[in-house]
Amino acid sequence: MTTLKGKTALVTGASRGIGRATAVALARAGAHILAHYGRSAQEAESLVTEIRANGGLADALSADLATTQGAAMLAEQVRLIVGDRLDVAVLNAGISKAARIADYTLEDFDNLFATNVRGPFFLVQQLLPMLGEGSNITVISSLGARTVVGKPGVDSPSILAYASTKGAIETLVKNWAAILGPLGIRVNAVAPGVIDTDMSNFTKTEAGREAALGMQALKRLGKPEDVADVVAFLASDGARWITGASIPVDGGSKL
């Protein structure tokens, strides 16, 4: 499949997990990949090497998207490579945190919102001059945006602050879609359930694995590639009439 041949695609947080798999899927579809990373330089470079070895085009770009200047710094690096045309942006970089309500700190809360909401908000602002008719943005949300995940209780760790960042991003997706639609720019979210990555380290325990499988209709752990294939579809012309949507990619979680 070469549905994205000749297109440029930025993937944030492409060094690991869902972002890496998405970069590989978009490269397989023919896109020139701008693989963003935060700290994992070696992993990002090995991704770029892998894509190039398979005949694709890729560059690695670095910026800490939790900082106030991160989004602008990344957009400038993107501009230096693509000029005035970016076709696909996948806003994937994110962090998570589980804690009891009593244990959350202001710093935890601010880090979560800076990385998962403020970063994407200003990245879209800064990328806008490079987006145009036919461009599209896909944001990685979460099952947690629409449902309570885990065991609710004051003595149990919960991801409520993380989940609220994903609620905020889904609201932004609808607003971006409405505002940018008249320019021919589509904006969608995908909302993964539990996906086996560094972030979901609880799936490495038997209890965590059972909890994940217990809420899913399909009885295996989700893989980064399960999400990446849906993002690649949303980025393609096959999804030309989809905007403002959030697509669950969760093996039928909490039906």
Ligand X SMILES: NC(=O)c1ccc[n+]([C@@H]2O[C@H](COP(=O)([O-])OP(=O)(O)OC[C@H]3O[C@@H](n4cnc5c(N)ncnc54)[C@H](OP(=O)(O)O)[C@@H]3O)[C@@H](O)[C@H]2O)c1
Task: Point out which residues bind ligand X (CB under 6 A).
Answer: 13, 15-19, 37-40, 64-66, 92-96, 115, 140, 142, 192, 194-195, 197-200
Least Cβ distance, residue 132 to ligand X (angstroms): 26
Least Cβ distance, residue 37 to ligand X (angstroms): 4
Least Cβ distance, residue 25 to ligand X (angstroms): 13
Nearer to ligand X, 184 or 208 (CB): 208
Strands, E, within 172-229: which ranges? 186-192
Asked if 52 and 58 count as a contact pair (C-beta separation under 8 A), the reply is: yes
Nearer to ligand X, 69 or 105 (CB): 69
Instruction: Give yes or no: 162 in active site.
Output: yes
Asked if 227 and 140 count as a contact pair (C-beta separation under 8 A), the reply is: yes
Least Cβ distance, residue 39 to ligand X (angstroms): 4
* Residue nearest to ligand X as judged by C-beta position: 17
Per-residue HEC secondary structure of 123-143 comes to HHHHHHHHCCCCCEEEEECCH
Q: Which residues are CB-neighbours of 181 under 8 A, at least 6 positions away?
A: 243, 244
Which one is catalytic: 37, 122, 162, 176?
Answer: 162
Half-sphere exposure of 112 (CA within 13 A, CB side): 21
Nearer to ligand X, 132 or 157 (CB): 157
Nearer to ligand X, 194 or 215 (CB): 194
- Residues annotated catalytic, as ranges: 162
